[in-house]
Structure 1
Amino acid sequence: MKYVSVFVGLLTYANAAVISQSQSASNPFYYFAFGDSYTTTAFNNRGTQPSPGNPLGNPPLGQGTFSGGPNYVGWLTTKYNSTTVLTYDFAIGGATITDSLVPTADPSIHTFEQQVKMYFETQYTSGSSPGKIWASDNSIFSIFFGINDIGLPLTSEPQYLKDMNTRIPELLDYYFSLCANLYNQGARRFMFVGVPPSDRSPYIEGLGSSVSAQWSAWANNFNGQLAARIPQFTANHAGSVAATYDYHRWMTLVLDSPTAYGFPDATCINSNGVSCIWWNNYHPGSRLNDLLAQRMLPAMNSLGFDGSKPVGGYFY
């Protein structure tokens, strides 16, 4: 992203602590996350690897996020898990699906395509090192993209703006081709996260009603087409199971009734990550992410996160 006011740096959350899990430490569950700043924990795939005593690997829990503390990935890994979870979070702030359609703001920001091909496939599949330490029946692959694919053309890269009825199918064609790559490596349990109502963030609202309305229309179109393609993907990939998490629907509930969720209003910003919905003008805080993780948990459990039989479904 080229949002100067948005990417202000990564905040350390000094008071966060890993909640240790002793159950099934020798038989962990593997959680692979792909995404952008809403998902990243700044994991370095060449650094310290996840382990039962350090389930996120690096950096420590709550660091490297855009939420002022743990984001939903950290909370799911350490607070709402029912067994030992090892999390490999390849997400990077500013990521898009592929540079060939919507380039990132900087070459160092790696897209979904690069997260799969440069990080996952080169290190966590057969023939790589440490190799395929996971199995199809003890892993979840979470994919959360679209925010920057919408936001960059609408705000700072207008040269990549096309009619959404043309661009969104192109984006999702590439998106699901990468999901097929994951499937070919053994992934079977997929968590698809929809785009949130970022048009209601202080940043997008500050750009005026026209941009906000465009963002809203794009988000709804993207989410609708994503939802329509998920059953097609599972039908064409034998043995795959998918859970869809409708982040847009749930966060709209929070923004419409912030006091019901313990927030003063829908627009306040506080870098402590706790007092307000927003950590900065584009990213929700850690407490909102905690609530999000609670809402996501049934979706994760529908994929066997709690040891149950994977069935998938729609959740919000």
Structure 2
Amino acid sequence: MSSRPIRPSWKGFSNISYLVIFGDSYCDVGYELYSPYPTQEEPFGVAFPGKTYTEPETPNWVGHLVTEYTHQPVLVYDYAHGGDGVDEVCEQINYKFIPGVAAKPKWAPWQSTDTLFICWIGINDCASESGEAIREDVKRLFTEQERLYKVGARNFLFIDVPPIHRSPIGLALQAAGQGGSFTYEVWNSQLKESIAQFSAAHSDATIFLFSSWDTFNRVLDNPVAHGFTPKDPVKKWGGIWYDHLHPTSRMHDWIAHDLADFLNAQPPHQEDE
């Protein structure tokens, strides 16, 4: 896990009032453009915990984060959708966020310093592409970050892809002589490179990288220490994996826990920095 320099836009995680999220099934809470606006009573705009890709009526990491680990009430604009990749994240930004919340309407008066823009994408892209195509996908993702920057986004958080080769479907593919870790490692390597370039080009933006790769590997390597059974790392419908690919709510809680620890460890900008 790493971050680029802390810029004036970052006042600390305790001062974040809005989350804007782009991603896939790991982030999806069932919010749609026709959903009611998020409020303090319904911070997702839909009834908590939303419609997630975990056990029925249980939260994913987004739900755990805002109910267990934030310092104040946070409103969430979550445009993530199951099955999406970079192409669809471009649509999430351009056709969902930009025409609405980007304009800072009365019901979403976000500011550059109190809003964190989160992007967790890549699992589906890595499943269908390889090598140079993956690198180009990541580069294209950062073209869209420029659009967010232009409308005032200054605090960015990217989450790398987890070790999907260790999920039940990943293990099954490897047993059949397919899959492996290579594509995910290519994605994560290019993500780090693109973050560095984006940070260097935007001297007033703060960009964080949180590693879900590290969180998953730590839990999978030592499940008992995290409240799981020794068989859970390879078992679908178990404690870690809800199905062949998606984590359980308990695993999402560990993601939220680690993410909160990471964000809390990023100090507010100091004037002498």
TM-score (norm 1): 0.75
Contact 1:40–1:89 (CA under 8 A) maintained in structure 2: yes
> 1:217 is matched with which residue: 179, 182, 187?
182
2:99 matches 1:122 = yes
SS of structure 1 residue aligned to 2:95: helix
Residues 58-207 of structure 1: pairs in structure 2 closer than 5 A: 58=46, 60-68=47-55, 69-98=58-87, 111-126=88-103, 133-151=109-127, 153=128, 161=129, 164=131, 166-207=132-173
Rounded to whole Å, the distance in 1 between the matches of 2:16 and 2:199 is 25
Residues 46-65 of structure 1: pairs in structure 2 closer than 5 A: 46-58=34-46, 60-65=47-52
Rounded to whole Å, the distance in 2 between the matches of 1:179 and 1:299 is 22
2:208 matches 1:243 = yes
Rounded to whole Å, the distance in 1 between the matches of 2:179 and 2:219 is 18
Q: What does the per-residue CA deviation read over 1:172-221, in whole Å, with 9 as the maximum and x for residues that have no partner? A: 111100111111110000111000001111112222343232xx111111
TM-score (norm 2): 0.86
Percent of pairs identical after alignment? 30
- Aligned equivalent of 2:26: 38
Rounded to whole Å, the distance in 1 between the matches of 2:178 and 2:159 is 23
Rounded to whole Å, the distance in 2 between the matches of 1:40 and 1:310 is 31
**With CA pairs under 8 Å and 6+ residues apart, which has the higher RCO, 1 or 2?**
2
Rounded to whole Å, the distance in 1 between the matches of 2:16 and 2:184 is 35
The Cα shift of 1:228 comes to 2.0
Contact 1:244–1:299 (CA under 8 A) maintained in structure 2: no
SS of structure 2 residue aligned to 1:49: coil
Q: Please tell me the residue identity of whatever aligns with 1:77.
A: V
Against the structure 1 CA distance between its residues 205 and 218, is the aligned structure 2 distance closer, same or farther, given a 3 Å change threshold? same
Q: What does the per-residue CA deviation read over 1:20-70, in whole Å, with 9 as the maximum and x for residues that have no partner? A: xxxxxxx97000110000111011122111111211111x22231111210
SS of structure 2 residue aligned to 1:243: strand
Structure 1: tracts of 5 or more residues without a match: 1-26, 99-110, 154-160, 312-316
The Cα shift of 1:129 comes to 5.2
The Cα shift of 1:302 comes to 5.2
Rounded to whole Å, the distance in 2 between the matches of 1:217 and 1:226 is 14
SS of structure 1 residue aligned to 2:91: helix
- Aligned equivalent of 2:268: 309
Contact 1:55–1:78 (CA under 8 A) maintained in structure 2: no
SS of structure 2 residue aligned to 1:242: strand
- Aligned equivalent of 2:244: 281
Contact 1:302–1:310 (CA under 8 A) maintained in structure 2: no
Q: Please tell me the residue identity of whatever aligns with 1:212.
A: G
**How many residue pairs were aligned?**
251
Rounded to whole Å, the distance in 1 between the matches of 2:74 and 2:89 is 23
- Aligned equivalent of 2:11: none
